[in-house]
Structure formats: C-alpha cells, structure tokens
Amino acid sequence: MTKLILTRHGQSVWNAENRFTGWVDVDLSNKGVQEAEKSGQLINELKIKIEVSYTSYLKRAIKTLTTILKINNLELKFNTAWQLNERHYGSLTGLNKEETKKKIGEEQFKKYRRSWDIAPPPMSAESEYQTLFSPLNSSIPVGMTPFTESLKDTYDRVVPFYENEIKTNLSAKKNILISAHGNSLRALCKYLLNISDIEINELEIPTGNPLIIDFDDQMEINKYYYLDKARAKNIIFNR
C-alpha cells in the first residue's frame, strides 16, 4: 500500500495574529515549530520509508518539511513548487480577519474566504506586500504570478502539478510527503476525495497534523486518517 502524507505547515506568525497571509513569506511561530516537530514524530511512528517529498516556495512550509525530514533521519533532496503555494488572497493580504469581517459583513467575508470560485479584489502591483513574497517566486514563468485567487484558481494550478509530477511517483509505489498550505491542500483533497463545490466550504485542514491517504495497487484510495486524533477534522470523501 502506497502512502501520500499531506501536512499543513505549523502555525505561522500571521496565523497567530489572525491575518490573511497568502503569498507573504512569513515564518513559523514558536507554536508552529512545535507543531512541525510533533508532525515529524507522528510520521516517524509509522515506520515507513518516505521516498519523495514536495513543498511550496514559502518558508513556513519549507521549514515544516525540513523539520519532519530531520526528525525522521531523512536526507532527501526535497522538491519545491510554486504550484503548491498558499492561495493568493489579493487585497485581503495582511488584513486582520475579524476586523475585515466587521468591515465587509459576514456574508461577503464567507464568500471571499470559503467559496469555491469567488476571489477577493486583486492586490495592487505597488502593494508593499509584494516585497514580502518568497525570493523563489522569481523563477515563476512570466505572466503566471496571480494578484488574487479563488480556491478554484488554486485548484487549477495544484491539480495539474499533482497529475504531472506527484502521481507519477505514487504510481511507482513511492511513499510521498507533501508540506504545503491550508488552501493548496484543500484543493488537492477536493480532487482526490471527490468533494463537491459546495462541500469543499466545510473542509478545514488543521496546522501540523499529518493526513495519511493510503492507495491500493490500482491507485484507488483505500484509507485516510489524521495521525493526531485529538486534533483531527472531519474528512469528506465521496466515492
């Protein structure tokens, strides 16, 4: 049985401050470092061989991955991919979520945050936050960097990367670890677990809690579960 391990990075500094982070390259909080370490310990208890790993261009995901690899005594050369970046929150980037909800109203807030295909207004090209993006972004092909995204937009970059890159290694029976973000992992789970456009609003990916997806020899999902049962969230799966 082949395992795909999906781990949302540990709590970031802006997660702790309840701010929309998106593509801003913030670091892990102290709690986030602890969550990354706990993720590594939980994965180590599986006693499996992880053969390939992927992460985004953002340091909070990269640091989570390198922490997990170190705890598991793995010296893998990990793969970074901008397609696994967090969803771009456009002009909401940097704003406090509670303050934003009060300003624009709960209904509009929910549409921007949880709807399938509604993106926030775009970020200005002159925004100060553009300077806080990952330096790795300079390798993204010209014209591909977004100024805002819906979850659908995120899905449209995550899924082709999965199909063209990650699935190839899964099909070769290699256990894979992905350290990414709440929305890039929600997009991938929507695809893998056949979650509807409406139901995806209900899917929450907790920080620092590895989600294991087991594939059988026919590449069908056999089992799925969080390693930290106390912090597990509901998993939606439509066969």
pLDDT at residue 239 is higher than 90: no
Q: What is the mean pLDDT of residues 5-18?
A: 97
Mean confidence (pLDDT) of the chain:
95
Take residue 7 and report the two structure tokens written for it.
């781990």
Rounded CA separation 12/34 (Å): 11
Say if CB 4 and CB 176 are below 8 A apart.
Answer: yes
pLDDT at residue 154 is higher than 70: yes
Q: Is 181 a catalytic residue?
A: no
The amino acid at residue 145 is: T
The pLDDT of residue 215: 96
The pLDDT of residue 16: 97
Take residue 86 and report the two structure tokens written for it.
């967090």
Where in the chain are the domains?
A: 2-231
Helices (H), the chain: 13-16, 30-44, 59-71, 97-104, 106-114, 151-161, 167-171, 182-192
Q: Alpha-carbon dihedral of residues 16, 212, 167, 90, nearest 10 degrees?
A: -20
Which of these is catalytic: 86, 88, 149, 181? 86
Look up the CATH number of domain 2-231: 3.40.50.1240
The pLDDT of residue 238: 75
The predicted-structure confidence for 226-238, as pLDDT tens digits, reads as follows 999 999 888 887 7
Rounded CA separation 29/207 (Å): 12
The predicted-structure confidence for 27-64, as pLDDT tens digits, reads as follows 999 999 999 999 999 999 999 999 999 999 999 999 99
The predicted-structure confidence for 184-217, as pLDDT tens digits, reads as follows 999 999 999 999 999 999 999 999 999 999 999 9
Say if CB 23 and CB 85 are below 8 A apart.
Answer: yes
The pLDDT of residue 236: 80
Say if CB 208 and CB 202 are below 8 A apart.
Answer: no
Phi-psi region of 74 (alpha: psi -120 to 50; beta: other; left: phi over 0): beta
Say if CB 148 and CB 123 are below 8 A apart.
Answer: yes
pLDDT at residue 159 is higher than 90: yes
pLDDT at residue 127 is higher than 70: yes
Rounded CA separation 92/89 (Å): 5
DSSP states along 190-207: HHHTT--TTGGGG----T
Q: What is the mean pLDDT of residues 12-28?
A: 98
Rounded CA separation 222/79 (Å): 26
Q: Is 86 a catalytic residue?
A: yes
What's the whole-model pTM score?
Answer: 0.96
The predicted-structure confidence for 64-99, as pLDDT tens digits, reads as follows 999 999 999 998 889 999 999 999 999 999 999 999
